[in-house]
Amino acid sequence: MSTAFYWSIAGTAAGLILVGLWGVLTRKHVLRIALAFTVADTGANLLLVWSGYLPGRTAPVIDGSIPASEITSAVVDPLPQAMVLTSIVIGVAVAALFVVVGVLASRRTGSADVRRMKELRW
């Protein structure tokens, strides 16, 4: 992986977080806000995985192709990947909760527009 590609991943991750945040702040439809939230979530996960990357190395799954003595110089950091696995699952659960609250709130006000939800006014 070239250096340019390495940094473009970081740029993509930061871009996804910012786009998601932009969507959460400016969109009006409650399901679009939930979607923007998951986009930001994806960006955060990508940034975490990127931070554990080491050049020229393989996934932290040890099979016959990696000699036991060279593990520490052959695999990328397993810790960020473990954290991201946790983060993805929690992200799905939070997104489901987000959608349910959004749908129920739009039932209550008769519109999916967040400007019509007076209880949530900011």
Partner 1 sequence: MIRTLAGLVIVLILGAVAAAVIPEMQMREELQGVGYSYASRGMDETGSSNLVTAVIVAYRGLDTLGEVVVLFCASTAVVLMLTLYPIGVKASEPSRIVAFTAKVLPAPIMLFGVYFIAHSHLSPGGGFPGGTVIASTFLLVMLGSSSVPDRNGRLPAIESLAGLSFGLLGFWGIMTAGQFLNNAFLGTGTPGSIISGGLIPLISIAIGAKVASEFSGVFKAFRNSGGEA
Site residues (CB under 8 A) for partner 1?
3, 6-7, 10-11, 14, 17-18, 21-22, 25-26, 51-55, 59-64, 68, 71-73, 75, 77-79, 81-82, 85-86, 88-90, 92-94, 96-97, 100-101, 103-104, 107
Least Å from the CB of residue 58 to partner 1: 11
Supply the DSSP symbol for 29: B
Supply the DSSP symbol for 76: -
Residue whose structure tokens are 């970081």:
10
Terminal Cα distance for the chain, rounded: 45
Least Å from the CB of residue 9 to partner 1: 10
Least Å from the CB of residue 21 to partner 1: 6
Contact 49, 81 (CB under 8 A): yes
